[in-house]
Each structure stands twice: as structure tokens, then as C-alpha cells.
Amino acid sequence: MAIKATIFKADLQIADMDRNYYADHSLTLARHPSETDERMMVRLLAFTLFAHEQLGFGKGLCVDDEPDLWHKDLTGAIELWIDVGLPDEKWTRKACGRARQVVVLSYGARQQDMWWEQVKGKLERQDNLRVMYVPPAATQALAALANRTMRLQCTIQDGHVWITDGKDSVQIEPRQLMPVLR
């Protein structure tokens, strides 16, 4: 018998002063059996950083040609494609051909450093790609906030992210590895 995804519910209050975006979101996250709390919470962080009414979770780990999150316009065109982790550079280049903007939110200390050294030369030619890195201390602290039912307040200002569940708080400063060139 196949193991089913674990369902998590998150009530998310976002105050993004950098983008002047203020909204509440009730989200359902399906954590794949092979996914860790850390990865799931980085997906939630990605939602927080790029929150929009049309942003939604893709099938992610279950389907190779779908992102972890995406924002499609009313015609079905992909405005924003977000991958979490250390995606294959071929899939990232393919995503750059399918979406107006692509974001990779990477994490994972040593593995991330090796991945970036291997792919940065191949990805630098993509003019619609942004690669960001979240330090291990932040992702581990985020994982500690994971609960089947979460109420989180998120504040973003000057590139810093603060997430609290009312009891514990996490401060995150994602590092930009590759900016979007325009």
C-alpha cells in the first residue's frame, strides 16, 4: 500500500513592506512521504516571499514538469515558476523557457555549495532567473515551527523575513545568488 501525503493547514498573515503586500492566506500543504518538514517549510517560505492571490502550490515532488509553486495569469501563461531545493539545471533552463520569471530557493549547506558551483555557469545565461539561498540555521528553525495546524505571522522588510507562531520566532535573510537581469 502506498503511503499518502500528510496534510498540513496554515493560516498565514503576511505583511510584506518591501512589496506593499498585506494579506491573510489559508493554505493546505500536502507533504509528500519523502519530503521533510524542512523542505515543506521552505516551500511555505517561498509562498511568503512571493505571495499573490494567484500563487499556488504545484505537484512538486510528484511531477517532474511542475514547480513547487507557480502563478499563472488568466490565460494560463506561467508568470512565476518557483522551485525549492537543488533542481537539475536542465529542468531550470526548461522552466525559464516556459515562464516569464523563475525563482530557485535553494538550501542545504554543503550540498547547496556544490550544486551552485556545478550549475551557476550554465544558468547565468538565463535572463529571467533568480537564485536565492536560505542558510541552514534558518531552515532548521523553520522546520521546528511545522505543525499539522499552524497560525503564522510573517513580516518582510528590507529583505529580512520574520516568521512567528506566537511562541517562537525565526529570522531569515535569504541571500541573492543570482539576480534577475533586465
Q: What is the DSSP string of 135-150?
A: -HHHHHHHHHT--SEE
Domain range annotation of the chain: 6-178
Confidence of residue 5 (pLDDT cuts 50, 70, 90): confident
Cα(107)–Cα(138) distance, integer angstroms: 9
Q: Exposure of 66 by Cβ count < 10 A (0-12 exposed, 13-18 middle, 19+ buried)?
A: middle
Q: Are 169 and 151 in contact (CB under 8 A)?
A: no
The answer, yes or no, to whether residue 2 has pLDDT greater than 70, is no
CATH 3.10.640.10 fits 6-178, yes or no: yes
Sheet holding 6-16, edge to edge: 21-31, 6-16, 149-157, 160-164, 169-172
State whether residue 122 is helix, strand or coil.
helix
- Tell me, rounded to whole angstroms, the distance of Cα 13 from its chain centroid: 17
Per the confidence metrics, is the pTM higher than 0.75? Answer: yes
List pLDDT tens digits, range 138-158: 999 999 999 999 999 999 999
Confidence of residue 181 (pLDDT cuts 50, 70, 90): very low
Grid coordinates given for 175: 541571500
Grid coordinates given for 77: 501563461
